Amino acid sequence: MKYAVRNPRNGQIDYYFDLPSAQQLQQSVDRLRQHQPSWQQLPLSERIAAMQAWKAALEKHQSALIEALTLDTGRRHESVLEAQLIGQSIDRWCRLAEAFFEPAADKVSAIPFIHIRQDLQPIPVVGVISPWNFPLLLGLIDTLPALLAGCSVVVKPSEITPRFIEPLMDAVREVPLLSEVLLFLAGDGNTGAQLVDLVDLVCFTGSVATGRRVYAACAARFIPCFLELGGKDPALVFEGANLEHAAASILWGSTVNCGQSCLSIERVYVQETILQDFLEKLKERAERVKLAFPTPEDGQIGPVISERQVHIINDHLSDALAKGAHVLTGNTCCEQRNGGWYCRPTVLTGVDHTMKVMTEETFGPIIPVMPFRTEAEAIQLANGTIYGLSAAVFAHDWETALRIGQHIEAGAISINECALTALVHEGEKQSFKMSGIGGTRMGPSAIKRFMRQRAFLIKKEPILSPWWF
């Protein structure tokens, strides 16, 4: 059966892919499972060499990859970044894997004549299910450490952005060793659900609603499942903060990639005494940002990628306006241009927590700004959410911002900056509350998520054990 894909810039259906049958899926996973043991048995240096060969192949296919990603998402600048950053990610994971797999000496246990040797066994087949907002980056983020751990990996990207799979798989096929253990395949939600039933571990990035279904399916099979879900990240701005920097950073953090980022700033709380000053600066900067229309090179804000998201953004805007919010600058709803849907950076004032725009994930370039009086009130507002992905705090100095940030229930807190997890990949972090579950996907211990720990308990000397009958 063919799946029809919409182009986000013009609304036309201009790409089709074949949905895999249950039998094709089973055969694909069987093939990965069959080749995984020899991949696992390779010395790490050979897995690294295969990854480096893939990096070279990806560089060769880079322009095709960028073209496909641009068609998938309607934005070019971020597509170029996604494609260019793969090489750095591969290098970083290769370095981390080298350090991670350093052989460790046997340890003596609490019983002096019993030694312990630790061992790590890769999970044979890892399933990665990813969303449409950063198709390449999020398809690879768990895939690279899993491959280096010695797993085979099947990736099912979003059906909304499948075009990049073809050039990516062209690069995979140039590295025969890797093509035996890595497969990106196009499919829809049903394909994802079927995949969950075939693999040994699931890394899911997407919405809370789907994450809940995936988690339940994994629980029924007793397989590990890592969820990276939605967010409603707050930024807190305190008196004494550099307001030019705060406004510039928050504007970027909430509107880059058209706000379609899990770690977008979706709520801004500003100390009452500096509110007007901050709003003036934010408005002035927001009005300088342009829609990337008519071509992707014309501005910074591309189209809303998923049509379903247009309805959510419009719903949040109309709900806020009906409850008394005011548009300081921007749109009252998404605007259609040449068949694509666009939304300007939109600053809302007069907002509160009765509005969806302050409590539910909007995933658009909307910046609702709400005043607070005291530090305690700011922290309470920041934590007044079901989500706990990340946050940002701006204050006079980094020590003050850090002290306040320590009260925020989220996995990554940017201090005097926004959304730094988009750029800094070394900090180990976990999602709080409904933003996800599982170990960190960043930093060296991310590799351990793809391995089972085994302990060999060794009696090296022929000694009479005192516990024997």
Q: Which residues bind ligand NAD (CB under 6 A)?
A: 129-133, 138, 156, 158-159, 188-189, 192-193, 196, 205-207, 210, 213-214, 228-231, 262, 361, 363, 389, 436
Distance from C-alpha of 123 to C-alpha of 118, rounded to nearest angstrom: 16
Spatial contact of 271 and 371, defined as CB atoms under 8 Å apart: yes
Choice among 94, 225, 258, 262 that is catalytic: 262
Pick the closer one to ligand NAD by CB: 210 or 300.
Answer: 210
Whether 377 is a known active-site residue: answer no
Pick the closer one to ligand NAD by CB: 372 or 432.
Answer: 432
- Minimum distance, C-beta of residue 97 to ligand NAD, in the bound complex (Å): 21
DSSP-assigned states of every residue in 15-31: EEEEPPPHHHHHHHHHH
Spatial contact of 456 and 444, defined as CB atoms under 8 Å apart: no
DSSP-assigned states of every residue in 138-194: HHHTTHHHHHHHT-EEEEE--TTS-TTHHHHHHHHHTSHHHHTTEEE----HHHHHH
Per this entry, what is the length of the chain?
Answer: 469
Spatial contact of 129 and 195, defined as CB atoms under 8 Å apart: yes
Q: Provide the residue type at 56 as one letter.
A: A
| Strand (E) or helix (H) holding 55 | helix 44-60
Taking each helix axis from N to C terminus, what angle separates 275-286 and 243-255, rounded to the nearest 10 degrees?
50
Q: What are the residues facing 370 on neighbouring strands?
A: 269
Closest to 262 in 3D by CA, of 141, 163, 405, 92: 141
- Minimum distance, C-beta of residue 133 to ligand NAD, in the bound complex (Å): 5
- Minimum distance, C-beta of residue 332 to ligand NAD, in the bound complex (Å): 23
Distant-in-sequence, close-in-space partners of 309: CB < 8 Å, separation ≥ 6:
260, 363, 364
- Minimum distance, C-beta of residue 93 to ligand NAD, in the bound complex (Å): 17
Pick the closer one to ligand NAD by CB: 39 or 132.
Answer: 132
- Minimum distance, C-beta of residue 248 to ligand NAD, in the bound complex (Å): 24
- Minimum distance, C-beta of residue 28 to ligand NAD, in the bound complex (Å): 16
Distance from C-alpha of 159 to C-alpha of 164, rounded to nearest angstrom: 11
Whether 94 is a known active-site residue: answer no
Closest to 54 in 3D by CA, of 138, 149, 167: 167
Pairing of strands 432-433, 225-228: unpaired
Q: Is 407 exposed, middle or buried (0-12, 13-18, 19+ CB in 10 A)?
A: middle
Q: Is 428 exposed, middle or buried (0-12, 13-18, 19+ CB in 10 A)?
A: middle
Pick the closer one to ligand NAD by CB: 52 or 207.
Answer: 207
Pick the closer one to ligand NAD by CB: 229 or 250.
Answer: 229
- Minimum distance, C-beta of residue 162 to ligand NAD, in the bound complex (Å): 9
Pick the closer one to ligand NAD by CB: 150 or 206.
Answer: 206
Choice among 228, 266, 360, 417 that is catalytic: 228
Pick the closer one to ligand NAD by CB: 50 or 69.
Answer: 69
Q: Is 133 exposed, middle or buried (0-12, 13-18, 19+ CB in 10 A)?
A: buried
- Minimum distance, C-beta of residue 325 to ligand NAD, in the bound complex (Å): 22
Q: Which residue's C-beta sits nearest to ligand NAD?
A: 192
Pick the closer one to ligand NAD by CB: 133 or 400.
Answer: 133
Residues with catalytic annotation? 228, 262
